[in-house]
Amino acid sequence: MQITSLFFIILSIISVFAYYQLNHKYRAFLLTFLSCGFIATYSFTLLAYVVVYAIINYAIGLKIQSSASKKTLFITGLVINITQLVLLKYVSFTLNPLLYVMGVDLDLTIISRIIIPVGVSFFTLQGIGYLVNVKMGWEKPEVNFSHFLLYLIFFPRFLSGPVDRSNHFLPQLKEEQLFNEQKVTDGLRLILFGLFKKVAIANQLAPVVLGSYADLGSADTKSLLIVLLIQPIYLYFDFSGYTDIAFGVARTFGLELRPNFKRPFLAETVTDFWKRFHISLASWFHDYVYMRTFFRYRKWGKNATTFALFVTWLLFGIWHGAGWTFMLLGVMQALAIYYEFSTKRWRNRVFAKMPKAPKILMGRILTYMFYGISLVFFFAPDLNSVFLFFSKLFPLEGVIPSGIRNEVYILVMFFVVILMAFEIFQNDFNKSFSRLEASWRSLKLTNTIFRWAVYLLILTLVIVFNRDVQQFIYFQF
C-alpha cells in the first residue's frame, strides 16, 4: 500500500476514530492488527517472518533478565539479528561470493525473493536496541507480546523509520491516550505537509536526480552540477516527507516517534549535520555502536575515539546497503567528522576575528556542499558510476539541459525556497517564529479561514502532483 495514497490516508483517519472509541486495553491490539494488515499488503510471507522474528526477540528479552548467562543469551540474540539481516540484505555482497569461491552452486538471494525484505533494516536495529537495553538493565523486558510486536512493526514507521527505541515507544502504550483534538489536528497537518514535501517537491525532482544516475553516459557537465546541488534537497524532502507522514499518523493515535530531522541544512559542520539529519539512525549508531566501542577500547585513549568513529560510520554506511559506494559514504562522513574534531581549536583560532554572520553562512554552505558531494556515493549504483560522475563534472561546458528548465521545476524550486526560508526563520528568529506560530494556531475566524485555505492549496498540490508515483528513497533500506 502506498503511504502517499489517498486510500492510506483515509484509512488512517477512519482508524483514528475506531482507536479512540475502543477501551484503552484494546487499542494497542488494534494498532498491531492494522500494522499486520499493512505489512500483508506487501507480502504475507514477510508478515509471517516479522512475527517469528518478534517472537524470538521477545523470548530472548524475557530470558535475559532472569538468566545467569546473560552475555551468552545476548550474543545469541545479536547473532540471530545480524544473520537474518545479512541473509536478507547482504547476501549478494557477502555469502554468495563466498559460496562461489568455495564452488557451491547456491544462490541465497532466493531468501530475499521469497520474504521481500521491506523495512528489515529498520526493525532489526529496533530489535538489537531492545536486547541491548534489556541486557544493560536500562529497561525491563516487555511482557505483553502484542505491545512488543507493535514496537517492531508500527505501520507508519515500518517502511522507512524513524528508528525507534523500545524505552521510548513501549511506555507510551501503557499510558491511556485520551482524545486530544490539538494532537489529532497536529497529526493531520503533519501528514498533509509530509505529502506535500514528498509529492510536490521530491517526486518532481526525482526524474532530474534519478534520471541522471540512470543514464550517466549521456549526462552533461551542467546537468550533473545541478544534480550535485539539488540531490541533498531531493533526499531531504523525500525522507522528511515520509517522516512527517509517519509522525502525523502516529500523533493522531496519541503516540510520539523519535525525531528524525531538525533543519539539517542549517548545520555549520558535518558533526552538527548528523545531529540534525536522520537523527534517529545517527543517534542509534552513536548510542549502540560508537559509545559501546569507545567504552570497550577506552584504554586506547584518543585512539579509541578515532577507532570508534570509523567503525561507527563504516557500519552506518553498510547499513544503507551492500556495496562499496555505501561504505565510502560512511568513511567520508567519518573523515569529515575526524577533521572537524581534530582541527577544532586551530579553526576557532583562525576564524576568531571573522564576523559571525558570514562565518555561519560559510559553514552552512560548506556543509551542504560536502553532503551533496558525498551523496554521489549514495545515489550512484556502483563505483564506476561514481568515477564517471566526477569525471564528467570537468570540463565545464554546455547549457542548462532543457529537462530541468521548465516551469514545473521552477515551481518546485519555489516550494523549496519557501520551506527552507521557513526553516531558517524557525532556527534563527525563534521569538518571531513563536509569535507567528501562535497566530497560525489561533482559533479566530480569519486565522482559521487562512489556515484552511493553506490546507486546501496544499491538498490540491498533493493530489495533482501525486500522479508521478515515486517510491520513498529510504524504502529500499
Partner 1 sequence: MKKFALRLLLFAAIFLTYDKLFILVAKRSAEAEIDKRLEYLVKGEINKDIIIAGSSTGSRDIIAAQIEEKTGFSTYNLCFPGSGVEFHEFIVNTLVEFNEAPKLLLLMVDDDVELMNHPPLIFRKDRLYPLVQYPTIWKELARQENMHPFFSSFLILQRLTKYNFDLRQKSFTPMDSIIACGSMPVSWKPEDIVLEFGTSERIYSTENEIPEKVAAFKGILKTCEEYNVRLVLVFPPIFQAHSLSFEKRIRRLAGDKVDYYIYNRENPIYQDEDYYNDETHLMRDGAIVFTDETIRYLESEIIVP
d(CA 476, CA 264): 22
Stretch that binds partner 1, among 46-54, 98-106, 232-240, 464-472 (CB under 8 A): 464-472
Count the neighbouring beta carbons within 10 Å of the beta carbon of residue 159. 22
- Smallest distance, Å, CB 465 to partner 1? 6
For partner 1, which residue of 5, 303, 384, 439 counts as binding (CB under 8 A)? 5
Q: Which of residues 378-437 bind partner 1 (CB under 8 A)?
A: 407-408
Closest to partner 1 by CB, 302 or 467: 467
Count the neighbouring beta carbons within 10 Å of the beta carbon of residue 301. 9
Closest to partner 1 by CB, 180 or 476: 180
For partner 1, which residue of 92, 112, 167, 185 counts as binding (CB under 8 A)? 185
For partner 1, which residue of 11, 13, 315, 373 counts as binding (CB under 8 A)? 13
User: CB of 253 within 8 A of CB of 178?
Assistant: no
Stretch that binds partner 1, among 104-112, 169-177, 241-249, 454-462 (CB under 8 A): 454-462
Angle at 244 between CA 173 and CA 330, to 5 degrees: 100
Stretch that binds partner 1, among 132-140, 147-155, 256-264, 459-467 (CB under 8 A): 459-467
Angle at 147 between CA 142 and CA 152, to 5 degrees: 95
- Smallest distance, Å, CB 217 to partner 1? 16
Q: Which of residues 155-184 bind partner 1 (CB under 8 A)?
A: 179, 181, 184
For partner 1, which residue of 33, 297, 450, 455 counts as binding (CB under 8 A)? 455
Q: Indicate whether 467 belongs to the interface with partner 1 (CB under 8 A).
A: yes
Cell of 286: 552513536
Of the candidates 424, 409, 384, the one whose C-alpha atom is nearest the C-alpha of residue 465 is 409
d(CA 43, CA 362): 48
For 418-447, the three-class secondary structure string (H helix, E strand, C coil) is HHHHHHHHHHHCHHHHHHHHHHHHCCCHHH
Q: Indicate whether 318 belongs to the interface with partner 1 (CB under 8 A).
A: no
d(CA 97, CA 381): 19
Give the x/- contact pattern for partner 1 in 339-378, rule: CB under 8 A: ----------------------------------------
Q: Indicate whether 460 belongs to the interface with partner 1 (CB under 8 A).
A: yes
- Smallest distance, Å, CB 118 to partner 1? 19
Closest to partner 1 by CB, 79 or 463: 463
**Could you list the residues that contact partner 1 (CB under 8 A)?**
5-7, 13, 17, 20, 179, 181, 184-185, 407-408, 452, 455-456, 459-460, 463-465, 467
